[in-house]
Amino acid sequence: MLEGAPASLVAEVFLEVPETADIREDVEAPEGVRVHWLARDGSDGPPGRLALDAVKAATLPSGRSYTWAAGESGPVTGVRRHLVRDRGVPRSDVAFHGYWRHGRSSPG
């Protein structure tokens, strides 16, 4: 997504990966994009927890924005709740997709 983004994009991107070895230094992003790599490296807690904590602690730009979040259901929903309840972001400005649940198999 970042590699195809317009050059004018300004964004904070939080990417959580299982291990430091999974970090890709070759990701191309527009100049106004800061990519925050978050490696679990065996840390306790469910996947997505580091990303949720990083978003909560982040200094985000003021003004209107758009958020897209995807991943394990709990933290993704947590990101939306935090932005809407704690930061006053309109619900319509947050798209989220919790497409799997930690510890549960997918149906089918």
Phi-psi region of 65 (alpha: psi -120 to 50; beta: other; left: phi over 0): beta
| pTM for the full predicted model | 0.87
What are the structure tokens assigned to 64, written together?
């209107």
DSSP string spanning 54-77?
A: HHHH--PPSS---EEEEEEHHHHH
pLDDT confidence bin for 44, thresholds 50/70/90: confident
Q: Tell me: pLDDT of 17 over 80.
A: yes
> Which domains are assigned to the chain?
10-100 (3.40.50.80)
The residues near 79 (Cβ < 8 Å, ≥ 6 apart) are 51, 52, 55, 67, 69, 94, 96
pLDDT more than 90, % of the chain: 72
pLDDT tens for 77-91 read 999 999 999 999 999
